[in-house]
């Protein structure tokens, strides 16, 4: 399904007319990245295994936006697919290039969180977490890079987590999967540097999304994230607030843009100082 999206458009980042693929686009940070790319006049293929949720996001973007007179209308392509399935990934990439055109940008934002101590973590939880958060990044990046490399242009951004570098209690599978995605993206960037493709990482901290709020209990449950929790070895967020999805999306879009044209193999942390710059 191709959806025309209306809304306030911006330029100046060199993204107008580019074709981006965003995984995990059905909600949270992924959906906000889609919205940010649309504002910069990119065409976006929205990939997620939750097809109905993708349709809802696309419909909401259409409803909320309004076309500026004389401005070309950006395009959205809804592509239901499981990033942990190599066949589905290959089919999705083929469809994007057929229906939208040559892919120029990829954002790996799909992710799942299965919290719990290592002693209580099931093998299924571990396998599922690795399949989406790490293998999904490998499969999608490999498929897209194979198309972009011969064309000599492109950018990849993988959304990981500040937990990829900082130990967290109850998050071993998530942290390990994000560390794997981080390392993979940098290795990919090194291998592709000579082809004109840049690969970078954005590592959010606690962000106001359903993934985070599903862990909360009680009306004031965000306080441990913001103020810290010594019993869990968390120092809190120096800026005094959770990240908003748009904070992360704007960092991602900057690294995709021509303004970051000489930036590759980098890891940009967006966590309000929660990991103290380490």
Beta bridge partners of 229: 234
Whole-angstrom distance, CA of residue 81 vs CA of residue 90:
10
103 by DSSP, 3-state: which? coil
Give the number of other Cβ atoms within 10 Å of residue 83's Cβ.
27
Whole-angstrom distance, CA of residue 58 vs CA of residue 76:
7
Whole-angstrom distance, CA of residue 218 vs CA of residue 248:
26
* Contact status, residue 98 vs residue 38, Cβ threshold 8 Å: no
* Contact status, residue 20 vs residue 44, Cβ threshold 8 Å: yes
* Burial of 183: CB neighbours in 10 Å, binned 0-12, 13-18, 19+: middle
Catalytic residue numbers, as ranges = 174
* Contact status, residue 22 vs residue 77, Cβ threshold 8 Å: no
Give every strand in the sheet of 197-204, ordered side by side: 2-4, 75-80, 43-48, 19-23, 105-108, 154-159, 197-204, 267-270
According to DSSP, residue 164 is labeled G
Who's near 275: CB < 8 A, 6+ residues apart? 162, 165, 166, 205, 269
């Amino acid at each position: 399904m191709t959806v025309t999206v209306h809304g306030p458009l911006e330029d100046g980042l060199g993204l107008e007319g580019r074709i981006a693929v965003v995984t995990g686009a059905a909600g949270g940070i992924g959906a906000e990245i889609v919205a940010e790319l649309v504002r910069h006049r990119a065409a976006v293929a929205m990939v997620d295994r939750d097809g109905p949720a993708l349709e809802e996001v696309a419909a909401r973007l259409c409803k909320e936006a309004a076309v500026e007179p004389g401005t070309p209308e950006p395009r959205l392509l809804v592509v239901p697919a499981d990033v942990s399935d190599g066949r589905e990934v290959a089919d999705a990439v083929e469809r994007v290039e057929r229906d939208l055109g040559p892919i120029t940008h990829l954002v790996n934002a799909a992710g799942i969180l299965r919290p719990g101590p290592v002693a209580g973590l099931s093998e299924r939880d571990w396998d599922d977490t690795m399949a989406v958060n790490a293998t999904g990044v490998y499969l999608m990046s490999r498929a897209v890079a194979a198309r972009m490399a011969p064309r000599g242009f492109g950018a990849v951004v993988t959304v990981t987590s500040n937990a990829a570098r900082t130990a967290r209690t109850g998050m071993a599978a998530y942290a390990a999967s994000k560390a794997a995605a981080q390392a993979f993206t940098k290795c990919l960037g090194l291998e592709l540097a000579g082809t004109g493709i840049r690969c970078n990482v954005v590592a959010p901290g606690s962000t106001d999304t359903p993934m985070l709020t599903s862990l909360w209990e009680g009306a004031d449950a965000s306080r441990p994230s913001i103020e810290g929790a010594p019993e869990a070895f968390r120092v809190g967020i120096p800026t005094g607030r959770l990240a908003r999805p748009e904070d992360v999306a704007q960092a991602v879009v900057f690294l995709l843009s021509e303004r970051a044209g000489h930036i590759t193999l980098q890891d940009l942390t967006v966590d309000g100082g929660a990991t103290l710059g380490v």
